[in-house]
Amino acid sequence: MRVPSRSPTPPRRARGRAAGRRRSRARRAAPRAPAWAAIGGGVAALALAAAVLVRITAPPARGEAIARERVEVAIGSRALAVLEPGASVRWDGDDVVQGRGDVFYRVEPGSQFVVHTPAGDVAVEGTCFAVKVRPLGEEEGREEEGREEAAMVKRDVKAGAVGAALSALAFVAVYEGKVRVSHANERVELRAGESAQAGPGGVKLTGATADGEKAFDQDVAASASADDEPFGAANRNLVRQIGEYRARLEAITAQKTDLEAKLKRSEENLAASQDGAPSSLKHDFDLSPEDWRELAKDGTIKYQLPCFKKRGEAWSPSPEKLNALGLAPDDAEVLKRAYERSNERVWSALKPLCAEAIGSADVAEKVGPEICVHLVLDHESERDGSATKQAKREVGEIRAGLRPAPGPREPAHPVLKLFLAATGEMKSFEGELAQSFGPEEAHRIVYSDELCMGSSTFGGSRPKK
């Protein structure tokens, strides 16, 4: 066992007992959004994946999201958006303002759904598409300088104004269905596999999605090189500084919310113990065979996985996280390596299943593990719902010790393979950490509040995230 860093925190053993009994609030990994390249027939399966996502609480009719990392957001009751780092969206029902960045949208069929950008509007009734927004010149970042200005952008776009608020370019790629892109009085209609660009020069078709994106990037680069005067550079530096301050403020707000939740749990547990009632301090996803026996009755699946980052990257704890865990600075590398190997194990099991479901290994690589889980489950549910439900019950029975797991060469239902890999990973992850920290300490660390974890619960028929 490694020597912990010196800090005013309690001794490791005492912290282990306290932290080991805490219920942690799972942190979701940022979903991996689909790439901008055309994805052919696999898109239909991707569309179904978004359709099966059900949240514990209904998504708000109004909201705002600014992505510091790749993040998945439910917009209203019928749309799902995957934001790349730096992207921002605001919505009111089916009316969305995308001020900047790259966003992938999946919209269920229904009434008109509109995405307003500083360069034009994108209107759909149900489809799968992506929007890139890039500011031009010294206007960089101004569309995000406040709610009032965002409202002005939206108003000016609707009115067809061409000016400062429209000093931006937007690229739209369609993967499924049809999309209308408009700017002022110009409008084009795109079908799956097509793209367009909108900006001060109007709206123009740019051909296939890959070719259109390349042309868009070239136009943005040309605009940046043409606007290199000192005043414009100073303005952009100021905008970047404002963005940094906002990001820091958001991080502090998130930390405050997290601490308030932990405090509430601790107060509830203290009150329960003082009343003589047993405190339920076991982690929600630290499941025993008895827990699995109950879950198997209706085919419910629960699991927690170490966070996924971009390919070739892995989550690593900050010095503050290490200090809160009572670990030494050099333990960061141990945790990072464990995350890397965990990501590799999970993806090596999920990728073949995902590629089989959507018919393309390349598409599977692009959409990533989180979306692939939904793709496989939805594909198998559509093909044979009864067999899929039975496979989910069998997962619970195997984890409860009521039946043996299939051997490596034995045929098994794809959903059984999928959830056996997902539900077994925490044991593998914990076992790897046990080699450096010992079994008890590894268990405490794995189910602490300080690690980055994503958790999922799939009910008897539909998933909950």
Residues of the chain with pLDDT under 70: 1-60, 137-166, 224-251, 253-255, 257-259, 261-262, 265-266, 268-281, 310-312, 460-465
3-state SS string over the chain? CCCCCCCCCCCHHHHHHHHHHCCCCCCCCCCCCCCCCCCCCHHHHHHHHHHCCECCCCCCCEEEEECCCCEEEEECCCEEEEECCCCEEEEECCEEEEEEEEEEEEECCCCCEEEEECCEEEEECCEEEEEEEEECHHHCCHHHCCHHHHHHHHHHHHHCCCCHHHCEEEEEEEEECEEEEEECCEEEEEECCEEEEEECCEEEEEEEHHHHHHHHHHHHHHHHHHCCCHHHHHHHHHHHHHHHHHHHHHHHHHHHHHHHHHHHHHHHHHHHHHCCCCCCCCCCCCCCHHHHHHHHCCCCEEEEEECCCCCCCCCCCCHHHHHHHCCCCCHHHHHHHHHHHHHHHHHHHHHHHHHHHHCCHHHHHHHHHHHHHHHHHHHHHHHCHHHHHHHHHHHHHHHCCCCCCCCCCCCCCHHHHHHHHHHHHHHHHHHHHHHHHCHHHHHHHHCCCCCCEEEEEECCCCEEC
* Burial of 225 from C-beta contacts in 10 A (0-12 / 13-18 / 19+): exposed
Residue in 132, 153, 131 with CA at minimum distance from that of residue 142: 153
pTM: 0.47
In this prediction, residue 242 carries a pLDDT of 64
Q: What was the pLDDT predicted at 49? A: 42
Contact residues for 197 (Cβ-Cβ < 8 A; gap 6+): 169, 170, 171, 172, 203, 204, 206, 212, 215, 216, 219
Q: Contact at 8 Å (CB) between 49 and 374?
A: yes
Write down all domains in the chain, each with its CATH number in brackets: 12-29+285-464 (no CATH), 58-240 (2.60.120.1440)
Instruction: Please report the pLDDT score of residue 54 as a whole number.
Output: 35
How do 127-135 and 178-183 pair as beta strands?
unpaired
Alpha-carbon distance 357 to 361, whole Å? Answer: 10
What integer pLDDT is reported at residue 454 of this predicted model?
87
Rounded CA separation 52/42 (Å): 16
